Amino acid sequence: MEKKIVIIGAGGHAGVVKDVIESDGRYAIAGVIDARFAKGSLWKDGIYSLGGDEELEHVFEAGVGNVAIGIGQNAQLRFKIYSKLKKIGFKFPTLVHASAIISDSATIDEGTIIMPVAVINCYAKIGKFGIINTAAIVEHDCRIGENVHVAPGACVLGGVSIGNNSHVGAKAVIIQSRTVGENVIIGAGAVVTKDVSKESIIVGVPARSI
């Protein structure tokens, strides 16, 4: 039996989240929450706006108890929304696109979204509220913290550890067994060959701090 879920945000990333929810198949999308769309207006594909943030408690009281965040780039905003909605009582299911490959021994915490053709290999652990984006690879024995975004085409090799609230840019590569601290931004296409201290921004091949 389908359960209802609401998507927070109505931009481009929300559209991908919509596709993942539909592919996952366990939830029916009740609508989107985004102040840019008037309540009752069509968003896309027969899905309508439920209004702005002021409607969240009404949506929960109406029986929509599950939520997915459709905001991809702003990690701080994502976590702020997550914290607010947890207080209301919403649940954050893990959502996995049918084309993703997930090892039976991998573990994925609540609220994380696994995008199309992503790969998560054996004994990897993915923390709460992350994004493993399209065609990203998380190899064996990796430890990915909370609210981490591994962008499209990025490759995190075996035994890598990534701290909370970090971002791995599109097609970046992190060499095996490296440690990346919290609140790190790794630029698109970077190749990380050394450990990265917290709150760093690194770019290039090999990657360097800026």
Each domain of the chain, given as residue ranges in start order, spans 3-92, 94-197
The correct CATH number of 94-197 out of 3.20.190.10, 2.160.10.10, 3.90.1170.50, 3.40.50.11030 is 2.160.10.10
Return phi, psi of residue 97, to 5°. -65, 145
Alpha-carbon span 188 to 118, nearest angstrom: 17
The domain 3-92 having CATH identifier 3.40.50.20: the answer here is yes
| Predicted confidence (pLDDT) per residue in 1-59, tens digit | 469 999 999 989 999 999 999 999 999 999 999 989 899 999 999 999 999 988 888 99
The residue assigned the tokens 């084309």 is: 99
Mean pLDDT of 169-192: 97
Alpha-carbon span 123 to 151, nearest angstrom: 21
Give the pLDDT confidence score for residue 79 in this predicted structure.
Answer: 84
For residue 201, which amino acid is it?
Answer: I
On average, the pLDDT of the chain sits at 93
Predicted TM-score of the model (pTM)? 0.92
Mean pLDDT of 66-75: 86
Alpha-carbon span 87 to 130, nearest angstrom: 19
Q: Which two tokens stand for residue 92?
A: 């954050």
How many other β-carbons are positioned within 10 Å of the β-carbon of residue 81? 20
| Predicted confidence (pLDDT) per residue in 97-126, tens digit | 999 999 999 999 999 999 999 999 999 999
Catalytic residues: 140
For residue 56, which amino acid is it?
Answer: L
